[in-house]
Chains A and B, each alone.
Chain A
Amino acid sequence: MSWQARLEALLQCGYRPFFLLSAASACCLMLFWLTLLNGWINWQPPGGMVLWHVHELLFGFAGAAIAGFLLTAVPEFTETANLPRTVLVRLALLWLLARVLYLLSPFWPASLALLPVALVNLLFWLLLLWHLLPRLWQHAGRMHLSFAWVVASLALLQLASLLANSLGGDPMAWLRAASGVLMMLIVIATRRISVNLVNGLIEEGRPGAPPPINSYLPRPPRSYLALFCIGLCSAVELWLGHNSITGWTALAAAAAMLNVLNDWHIGRALFTRWALLLYAGYWLIALGYAAMGASWLGAPLTTSAGRHLLTSGAAALSILAVMAVVGRIHAGLWLDRRPWLPLCALGLIIAAVLRALAGVPGLPIRALFSAAGLVWAGCFVAYLVAARGGLIAPRADGKTGCAAPLEHNAREGGC
């Protein structure tokens, strides 16, 4: 297939370029981080290596996944047209430029610090909002507007973090708050996906598929309580930092997430790979907040251990699940039943646990870091290999854009 045809296919739907960038950046960013950590390369960006690592995994890897999801889901949820290819190209180039600028930051005058990176990242989020906000605002009932608030919060927190680095503040405090907003986005987004996924509506029409069920029904008050507790924990952490008040709010967030699991305890329907993927993500959020809460209340483990259960565990697992589902259905393919997906999900959980164990005093930190990083990056390499058909190959069903498979007769929503 020619490069032109591949490029044509890549720009067919919003998720395609961004899921590709997200998975590719996951591998590259993690492997580069491991080389830095082991001292094989000497590269000192403004603000230090750790700031780069956290910033890029949050706004590079997760940012691309968020953009890909929203560029596909918002037109579907709001029943509007897909975004034009030129917009996708502009957004993808801005995203790439932001990553390259950060890599080049040690080579330009120190007085500039990370201001060019902040500017390009801000442009990326503003352009995304420019195209999505009118659709979310004008949609009946504005029921999906929360996506816009989350994107705006992420953009502001990123800007605050990079500005804090330039102005002598604590950039990491803002990034920690951004990780909380990412958890809120996971709760908001997976709630919408899970109804169709767990009840089997997403594959309605697939030959041989079991009939849809209606046992899974997420109760909004439970999610709202979880969102409130996570938001409160992030705000208190930003305000007070390492404090026992933050610890209690983190424990409340953990309990609120376990409360959300009440929706998921529906018997046999839970025991499918799709339901378990999202369910495990919720568990990791709960465990992450519980570990962070315990740490703030004086337990002998670092806060970073819990934080990595959230980011490298829950966020990565949820992103993999969303990419695996959205990347198939909107490419005209039924869901992937091959074993790579549960193996990768298991790999991400193991990587998160290994990374969390590195926060327990007395364990071999360097070996745990390396093992966790390699397993984690390997999972996204596997995704790129297994899902390349849905990313860079043209649709085989004759449909165009982001449409669902031909036989799909699901009602409103999709994924």
Chain B
Amino acid sequence: MKGPWYRVQSALAAILTYLWSGWGAIASLLLFCALWEWGAQLNGPLVLPGPQATLAQLWHMLDSGLAQPELIISTRRTLQGLGASLLIGSALGLLAGRSLTAAMLSRPLITLLLGMPPIAWLVLAMLWFGMGDTTPVFTVFIACFPIVFAGAMQGARTLDNQLRRVAQAYRLPWRMQLTDLYLPHVMSYLIPAWITALGTSWKVVVMAELLSTTDGVGAALAVSRSQLDTASSLAWVVAVLALLLAAEYLLLEPLKRRVERWRLETEQ
């Protein structure tokens, strides 16, 4: 019997191993910084400030307390829109996947929604909801919804019926069926869809804020653009990308590895 201390040790080792595995990604980002610096030296700081100047500007913005309120506002809007699309999109997609008729009905609609440019949704949202919080939240929701819905539906459609029959024949408890049969399979479709939706949500929220609100990162970007302050603009972009990377690699990627452990075990 393995005690709690052993479990704590194993968990710590797993966290450290996971964090250490990020060095490859850091190397890749640093190579990108070299490329960025090269572009900056070719074009001059007015057109493209280098990574050092941008990071210094971001540090200054954080130090002076200018960045945090805007980042919190944008994060809240992103989480609201994304959270709603993850919940509703996953649930409806799974339901649609369980029925061939519902899948047939929803497939053209999803194609339609996926093809609709987010800027068109934004214009409609501005007409419907005005210049407030609801506009960016709705635009994020509607831009992410079809991505999540399509992933969830595909996951539910491809469930192995034979495995389900085996589970029923052996009278597996519903909880075990859910956690050991349905969830691992569905999650392998859902997680990539969630990651794509996460990336989309940040892009859309910044765009929506730029055009429809007076606060948030998008609005701050609009101000820095009007002042021809390229360093601040890039600093805002870097801040958003840092949040995006943190959300993906500290939240979704560990979740993905956890639910996809069975793949590794099967390969071994």
A-side residues, CB < 8 A to B, are 222, 225, 229, 232, 236, 243-245, 248-249, 251-253, 255-256, 258-259, 261-262, 265, 297-298
Contact = CB atoms under 8 A, between A and B. Distances in A.
Contact of A225 (B17, B24, B33, B52): B24
B50 interface: yes
Report whether over half of chain A's contact residues are helix, strand or loop; otherwise say mixed: helix
Contact of B51 (A222, A243, A248): A248
A248 B23 contact: no
A252 B31 CA distance: 6
B2 to A, nearest CB: 16
Contacts of B27: 225, 229, 252-253, 255-256, 259
Given A255-B26, A297-B52, A248 B31 contact: yes
Contact of B23 (A232, A245, A249, A262): A262
Contact of B37 (A222, A229, A248): A248
Interface of B: 17, 20-21, 23-24, 26-28, 30-31, 33-34, 37-38, 41, 50-52
A245 B37 contact: yes
A232 B32 CA distance: 13
A222 B20 CA distance: 13
Contacts of A297: 52
18 contacts: A225-B24, A225-B27, A232-B31, A243-B41, A244-B52, A245-B38, A245-B41, A249-B30, A252-B34, A255-B23, A255-B24, A255-B26, A256-B24, A256-B27, A258-B23, A265-B20, A297-B52, A298-B52
Main secondary structure of the interface of B (DSSP, over half): helix
B249 to A, nearest CB: 14
Nearest to A297: B52
A242 to B, nearest CB: 13
Given A262-B20, A265-B17, A249 B26 contact: no
A225 B51 CA distance: 22
B34 to A, nearest CB: 4
A245 B30 CA distance: 10
Contacts of B37: 244-245, 248
Contacts of B28: 252
Nearest to A251: B30
A253 B50 CA distance: 20
